[in-house]
């Protein structure tokens, strides 16, 4: 393209000169990351700096034409950057500069930086007036052919410097991405990495300087203290840097890299309670990790073929190094190797085919590129020849018939030959199509007479006994792959158009319509039950029903480009291998990923699922083979199942007892200690919509849609007072005082009643003046004050005195048009409100006055809560964030806690150190207050979280969901400072990633499980963890200190007759035959 003098022209009003100064300096001094410099973009190669930038320093006087120097500068500028604000809208010259630049045909090279005002305010945007417009008119409309502005709206590309929008740094990066012609996310990632490197350099320099300072001034106690403080500060900076990189790794589904960053952070963390160490603990105990059970089986060159014995105990490989080897699958030990086959003067030397003879694992068939087919027998490490057969052409495929009676081979010359499996005599030669490679050859399961060949665009079913071609099937393009169903009745062929076609083996007729794909299909497998199939096309993996409709809503969410796919023998899991060396297990039920992926250093070219449904043999392009114990679906929480959605949950003060309201209208009491238990149905009226349990578990209150409040004595499940209390409408909210002596209840019609227990004859207070529903009821920690919030924005506070006295404090407080969330502080002195416009406000409970500034979310607030120590409060919003705020200042304690969906539930641990959040998509998560970082893995339900509660010691969290479950999860760790180094070392050993001295990530070989066990036990101090981690995955406890075992939870899940409960239980039990039998027996 034409050479330009300037990278960009800055256009702005003189009233925005400070922004022009800032942007001019920011752009001209920015250094493009080295890894981007020199790469091709739409403006040629990316430079190291964007220099010079033309700056229109002063606004010129109004005239019909631009000044000559301005006109020339516009012509010689690649881009026009307009600083947008209401001032710019009023500027004649800004408008003229935009029009002139558009006339040059560079309308797509105009970038906008918003510094004030609102885009499109002139279009009647709600909440704004036309004077707020920030886009000049020439920005808002396209240029017509006559050079005048048209009425067609334009869509300017804009960055916004304001903190509530992009912020200055991100806005600058957005402009730079446009100027350089690279992806914004790439530039932001590079910038973030550069900042982290700079932080590490500063940190390392600070440590060195601190050490020098200490040496020079060792006599001074003050200097020593300063050095220690500086060291701690630097360590905290390094910990923050590694923690940030760990989070980024988790976010991009790279948990292996996250482990090594957390490990390094845990080792250097100066704090006595290390958040990175605890995050590492939860990553190890709440994620399912693949474990290599064998050493690496390695050839000296690329592997061309692999196979496994029927019992899964042996693996055979053929390589470009001209040898075939037999290995012990469990350990990787070499059992035997064949002599080298002949080397030809080509680039395709080697053993192309290896096959075990059916029923005889000591007999191995090899087919070489030189055309030699050999059956070997091995007794020790030496292999001896049983027979050979020369083809005179490169062998490209071979297979034994079901009982080993025949061997069929395909060659590059297009011929197919059949040989005796006993002596190697040729039985039949089928000519095929000359010089069209027979690249695939398959016998149907159980067949000794018919087999399939693939060659070019043709699939042929041949019959040995009749020496004839039974069926010929063709595609418009080449056929790449094929597969039979387990019963051999159907065969699918796949490749170019029409994608996939299924055929009836007996009749040869098409079964259904072709299954089209956008790209050619490169791999294909039927599920073991023959009801579905998976395909690889264009690097994506699809799961199909046989009628061509998707078995899953979308392709599997693979990272990288898929190269191969397999089903587990039981069909419950799908394994995918990618070009970048990842192997991931997926549930065939819903397409969810199962555990962490295997990470190898090269493309996955083959995967061999073992018969036990647990192990997978993985083969790479670099000539390596390894056996892995694959991760599966493992529950980490005790799950209390309900017959329908859980609408509400309440817990005792110690968390030992939980009461739930289910959509079936019944209330149930559960033991919340983490052990599976049968509930006590305390109210089986079928009318319950709200519940509460008193602090010590003495009483349970239920509110019904029949307008009755019922209070139950838990010990004998009798109604207090002998009957329910009638209200005006559905009793939507109930609450007990901490001392269990007072109960309050509110209805949808606005009725509020307060009673002294156990006397229910006459209420302490009754109120009917409100005509809208009671939103919530809150007592203070002493039980002396009660706050009630109504949906239409009113809050009232009541003083509960001795005996039968209750008074309202002051006048009702009108806090909003619609109250969506509120809380009363533990001291009873403060009220907290959240409304449908996103406003959070603290109020004095005594005077009704506002305390501190109003706080604003971008969407409605759905939950608010004070911490037990009252030093902070938390708000959760439909804007997908929860924010921890300092009660005294109203300032955020940390960055917002960002989620993928709206927040609908909150809880704070009794010691006020942690916050739990629950979202509309069913994710519950625990966060460390001090740093605003998550410490636990997301606890995933299948529907919205309807309640959260910590136990008194903060060790467990109960989460209730609309999916009909309550999870009891371990959310604290038993770690002491002495455990951090062990945990860091173990995490580093388990990870397939390593950190170079420069902090760059590199691949590393994970030690086999025997070595990992040894490293774990030798480190000492974590015996419980080590025993748990390497125990049978179905027989161990849910987490190292849980009461419930995985097997118990599996059987409990299977017992409940939800549609997916049985397949889900079988998926977890997969690989444990005894447990699978129990699952089926329990279900019956």
Spatial separation of the C-alpha atoms in residues 406 and 365, rounded to whole Å:
12
Contact between 591 and 573 under an 8 Å Cβ cutoff? The reply is no
The partner residues of 53 in beta bridges, in order of sequence, read 8
Compute how many other C-beta atoms are within 10 angstroms of the C-beta atom of residue 475.
Answer: 23
1031 by Cβ neighbours in 10 Å (0-12 / 13-18 / 19+) ranks as: middle
CB 322 within 8 A of CB 351: yes
Q: Are residues 416 and 441 in contact, defined by beta-carbon separation less than 8 angstroms?
A: yes
Q: Is 288 helix (H, G, I), strand (E, B) or coil?
A: coil
Q: Look up the pTM and report it.
A: 0.77
Looking at residue 742, its pLDDT comes to 95
* Digit-coded pLDDT (tens) for 1023-1042: 889 999 999 999 999 999 89
Rounded to the nearest angstrom, the gap between the alpha carbon of residue 437 and the centroid of all alpha carbons in its chain is 43
373 burial (CB, 10 Å; 0-12 / 13-18 / 19+) is: buried
- Distance (Å, rounded) from C-alpha 935 to C-alpha 975? 13
Q: Are 916 and 933 in contact (CB under 8 A)?
A: no
pLDDT at 62: 39
DSSP letter at 550 equals B
Per residue in 651-693, pLDDT tens? 998 888 999 999 999 999 999 888 888 899 999 999 999 999 9
Considering the domain delimited by 6-182, tell me its CATH architecture: 3-Layer(aba) Sandwich (3.40)
Asked if the model's pLDDT at residue 165 lies above 90, the reply is no
Question: Which among 236, 306, 324, 307 has a CA at the least distance from the CA of 274?
Answer: 236
pLDDT above 70 covers what percent of the chain?
Answer: 94
According to DSSP, residue 254 is labeled -
Q: What is the DSSP string of 935-984?
A: -SPPEE-SS-EEEEEE-TTSSEEEEEETTSEEEEEE-S----GGGHHHHH
So what's the pLDDT on residue 60?
44
User: Residue 243 in 3-state DSSP?
Assistant: helix
Other CB atoms within a 10 A radius of the CB of residue 730 amount to 18
The C-alpha atoms of residue 387 and residue 424 are separated, in whole angstroms, by 6
Greater confidence, 129 or 587? 587
Beta strands in 869-944 (DSSP E): 872-877, 881-886, 897-898, 903-908, 914-919, 923-928, 933-934, 939-940
State the pLDDT confidence band at 379, using cuts at 50, 70 and 90: confident
Distance (Å, rounded) from C-alpha 673 to C-alpha 560? 42
Instruction: Mention every residue, 6+ apart, whose C-beta is less than 8 A from residue 764.
Output: 742, 754, 755, 756, 800, 804, 805, 806
Contact 286, 1028 (CB under 8 A): no
197, pLDDT greater than 80:
no
pLDDT, residue 1020, reads 66
DSSP 720: G
Domain chopping of the chain, boundaries:
6-182, 1007-1083
Query: Which residues lie closer than 8 Å to 45 by C-beta, 6 or more apart?
Result: 38, 39
300 vs 322, 350, 366, 929, CA distance in Å? 9, 11, 18, 53
| 169-176 own/partner pairs: CB under 8 Å, 24+ apart | 171/113, 172/23, 172/26, 172/27, 172/30, 175/23, 175/27, 175/81, 175/111, 175/113, 176/27, 176/30, 176/32, 176/50
Using alpha carbons, list the distances in angstroms from residue 926 to 897, 915, 933, 939.
10, 6, 9, 9
Q: In the structure encoding, which two tokens stand for residue 732, read together? A: 């939507």
CB atoms within 10 A of CB 547: 10
Q: Is 361 exposed, middle or buried (0-12, 13-18, 19+ CB in 10 A)?
A: middle
- Check residue 63 and give its pLDDT: 39
Per-residue pLDDT, averaged over 624-645, amounts to: 93
Contacts within 8 Å (CB) and 24+ apart, 613-618? 613/568, 613/569, 613/570, 613/572, 613/573, 613/1070, 613/1071, 614/1070, 614/1071, 615/293, 615/312, 615/329, 616/566, 616/575, 616/583, 616/585, 617/306, 617/308, 617/315, 617/329, 618/577, 618/583
Please state, in angstroms and rounded to a whole number, the distance separating the CA atoms of residues 489 and 269: 62
CA distances from 163 to 16, 37, 81, 545 (A): 18, 30, 20, 50
Q: In what order do the strands lie in the sheet with 540-545?
A: 521-526, 532-537, 540-545
- Ranked by mean pLDDT, the top range of 208-212, 296-300, 903-907 is 903-907
- In whole angstroms, give the CA distance from residue 661 to residue 76: 71
Task: Give the whole-angstrom CA distance, residue 62 versus residue 72.
Answer: 18
For every residue of 157-216, DSSP letters joined together read: EEEE-STTTTHHHHHHHHHHHHHHTS-HHHHHHHHHHHHHHHHHHHHHHHHHHHHHHHHH
Task: Mean pLDDT check: name the lowest of 226-235, 629-638, 758-767, 792-801.
Answer: 226-235
DSSP-H helix ranges across 561-627: none
Q: How confident is the model at residue 541 (pLDDT cuts 50, 70, 90)?
A: very high
Kindly write down the DSSP assignment for every residue of 80-136, as one continuous string: EEEEESHHHHH-HHHHHHHHHHHHTT-GGGEEEEE-SSBTTGGGT-TT--GGGB-S-
What SS3 class is residue 846? coil
Least confident of 31-45, 250-264, 569-583, 819-833: 31-45
Give the 3-state secondary structure of residue 21.
Answer: helix
Whole-angstrom distance, CA of residue 326 vs CA of residue 378:
9
Q: Which helix (H) or strand (E) holds 676?
A: none
Both tokens of 318, joined, read 């053929």
Q: Residue 996, exposed/middle/buried by CB under 10 A (0-12, 13-18, 19+)?
A: exposed
Q: Span 900-927, mean pLDDT?
A: 96
Give every CB contact of residue 738 below 8 A, 6+ residues apart in sequence: 653, 695, 779, 781, 782, 783
pLDDT at 209: 64
Q: Check whether the bond before 151 is cis (ω within 30° of 0).
A: no
Return the pLDDT at 347: 64
pLDDT, residue 45, reads 84
């Amino acid at each position: 393209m034409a050479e330009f003098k300037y990278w960009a022209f800055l256009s702005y009003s003189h009233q925005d000169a400070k922004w022009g100064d800032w942007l001019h300096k920011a752009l001209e001094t920015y250094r493009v990351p080295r890894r981007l410099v020199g790469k091709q973009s739409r403006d040629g190669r990316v430079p190291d700096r964007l220099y010079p930038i033309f700056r229109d320093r002063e606004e010129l006087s109004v005239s019909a034409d631009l000044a000559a120097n301005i006109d020339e500068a516009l012509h010689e500028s690649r881009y026009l950057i307009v600083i947008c604000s209401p001032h710019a809208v009023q500027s004649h010259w800004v408008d003229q500069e935009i029009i002139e630049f558009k006339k040059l045909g560079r309308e797509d090279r105009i970038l906008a930086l918003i510094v004030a005002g609102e885009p499109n305010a002139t279009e009647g945007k709600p909440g704004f007036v036309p004077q707020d417009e920030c886009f000049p008119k020439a920005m808002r409309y396209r240029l017509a052919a006559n050079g005048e502005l048209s009425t067609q709206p334009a869509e300017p590309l804009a960055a916004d410097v304001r903190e509530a929008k992009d912020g200055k740094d991100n806005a600058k990066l957005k402009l730079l991405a446009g100027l350089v012609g690279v992806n914004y996310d790439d530039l932001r990632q590079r910038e973030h990495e550069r900042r982290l490197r700079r932080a590490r350099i500063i940190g390392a320099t600070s440590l060195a300087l601190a050490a020098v300072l200490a040496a020079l001034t060792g006599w001074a106690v003050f200097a020593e203290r300063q050095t220690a403080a500086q060291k701690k500060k630097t360590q905290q900076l390094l910990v923050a840097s590694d923690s940030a990189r760990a989070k980024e790794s988790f976010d991009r589904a790279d948990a292996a890299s996250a482990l090594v960053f957390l490990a390094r952070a845990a080792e250097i963390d100066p704090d006595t309670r290390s958040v990175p160490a605890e995050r590492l603990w939860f990553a190890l105990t709440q994620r399912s990790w693949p474990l290599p059970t064998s050493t690496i089986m390695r050839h000296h060159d690329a592997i061309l073929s692999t196979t496994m014995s029927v019992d899964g105990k042996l693996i055979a490989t053929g390589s470009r190094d001209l040898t075939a080897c037999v290995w012990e699958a469990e350990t990787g030990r070499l059992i035997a190797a064949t002599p080298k086959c002949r080397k030809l003067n080509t680039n395709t030397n080697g053993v192309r085919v290896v096959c075990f003879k059916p029923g005889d694992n000591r007999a191995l068939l090899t087919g070489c590129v030189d055309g030699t087919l050999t059956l070997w027998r091995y007794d020790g490490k030496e292999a001896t020849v049983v027979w050979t057969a020369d083809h005179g052409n490169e062998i490209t495929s071979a297979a034994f018939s079901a009982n080993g009676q025949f061997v069929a081979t395909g060659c590059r010359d297009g011929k197919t030959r059949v040989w005796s499996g006993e002596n190697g005599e040729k039985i039949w030669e089928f000519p095929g199509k000359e010089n069209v490679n027979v690249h695939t050859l398959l016998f149907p399961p159980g067949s000794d007479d018919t087999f399939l060949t693939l060659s070019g665009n043709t699939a042929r079913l041949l019959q040995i006994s009749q020496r004839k071609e039974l069926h010929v099937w063709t595609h418009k393009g080449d056929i790449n792959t094929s597969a039979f169903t387990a019963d051999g009745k159907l065969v699918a062929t796949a490749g170019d158009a029409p994608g996939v076609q299924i055929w009836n083996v007996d009749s040869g007729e098409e079964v259904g319509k072709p299954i089209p794909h956008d790209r050619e299909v490169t791999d294909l497998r039927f599920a073991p039950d023959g009801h579905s199939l998976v395909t690889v096309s264009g690097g994506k993996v699809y799961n199909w029903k046989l009628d061509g409709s998707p078995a899953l809503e979308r392709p599997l969410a693979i990272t990288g480009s898929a190269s191969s796919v397999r089903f587990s023998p039981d069909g419950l899991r799908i394994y995918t291998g990618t070009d970048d060396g990842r192997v991931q297990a997926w549930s065939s039920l819903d397409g969810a990923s199962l555990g962490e992926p295997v990470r190898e250093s090269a493309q996955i070219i083959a995967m061999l699922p073992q018969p036990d449904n647990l192990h997978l043999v993985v083969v790479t392009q670099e000539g390596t083979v390894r056996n892995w114990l694959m991760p599966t679906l493992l529950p980490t929480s005790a799950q209390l199942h309900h017959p329908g959605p859980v609408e509400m949950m309440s817990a005792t003060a110690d968390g030992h007892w939980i009461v739930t309201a289910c959509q079936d209208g019944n209330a149930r009491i559960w033991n919340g200690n983490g052990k599976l238990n049968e509930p006590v149905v305390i109210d089986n009226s079928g009318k319950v919509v709200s519940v509460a349990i008193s602090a010590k578990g003495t009483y349970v209150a239920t509110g019904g849609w029949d307008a009755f409040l019922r209070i139950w004595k838990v010990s004998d499940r009798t109604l207090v007072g002998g009957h329910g209390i009638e209200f005006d409408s559905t009793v939507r909210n109930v609450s007990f005082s901490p001392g269990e002596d007072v109960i309050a209840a509110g209805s949808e019609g606005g009725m509020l009643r307060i009673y002294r227990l156990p006397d229910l004859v006459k209420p302490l207070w009754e109120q009917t003046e409100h005509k809208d529903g009671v939103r919530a009821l809150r007592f203070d920690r002493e039980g002396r004050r009660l706050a009630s919030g109504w949906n239409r924005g009113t809050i009232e506070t009541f003083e509960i005195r001795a005996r039968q006295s209750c008074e309202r404090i002051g006048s009702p407080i009108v806090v909003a048009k619609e109250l969506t969330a509120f809380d009363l502080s533990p001291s009873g002195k403060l009220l907290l409100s959240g409304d449908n416009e996103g406003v959070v406000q603290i109020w004095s409970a005594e005077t009704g006055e506002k305390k501190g500034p109003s706080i604003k979310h971008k969407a409605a607030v759905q939950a608010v809560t004070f911490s037990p120590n009252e030093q902070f409060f938390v708000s959760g919003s439909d804007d997908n964030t929860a924010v921890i705020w300092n009660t005294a200042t109203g300032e955020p304690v940390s960055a917002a806690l960002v989620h993928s969906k709206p927040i609908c539930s909150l809880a704070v641990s009794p010691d006020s150190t942690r916050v739990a959040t629950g979202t509309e998509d069913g994710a519950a998560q625990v966060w460390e207050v001090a740093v605003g970082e998550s410490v636990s893995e997301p606890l995933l339900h299948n529907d919205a979280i309807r309640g959260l509660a910590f136990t008194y010691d903060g060790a467990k969290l109960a989460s209730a969901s609309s999916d009909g479950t309550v999870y009891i999860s371990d959310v604290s760790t038993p770690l002491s400072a002495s455990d951090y180094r062990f945990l860091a070392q173990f995490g580093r050993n388990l990870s397939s990633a390593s950190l170079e001295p420069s902090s760059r990530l590199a691949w590393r070989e994970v030690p086999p499980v025997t070595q990992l066990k040894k490293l774990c036990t030798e480190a000492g101090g974590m015996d419980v963890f080590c025993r748990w981690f390497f125990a049978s995955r179905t027989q161990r406890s849910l987490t190292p200190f849980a009461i419930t075992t995985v097997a118990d939870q599996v059987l409990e899940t299977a017992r409940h007759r939800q549609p997916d409960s049985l397949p889900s239980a079988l998926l977890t039990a997969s690989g444990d035959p005894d447990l699978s039998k129990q699952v089926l027996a329990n279900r019956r």
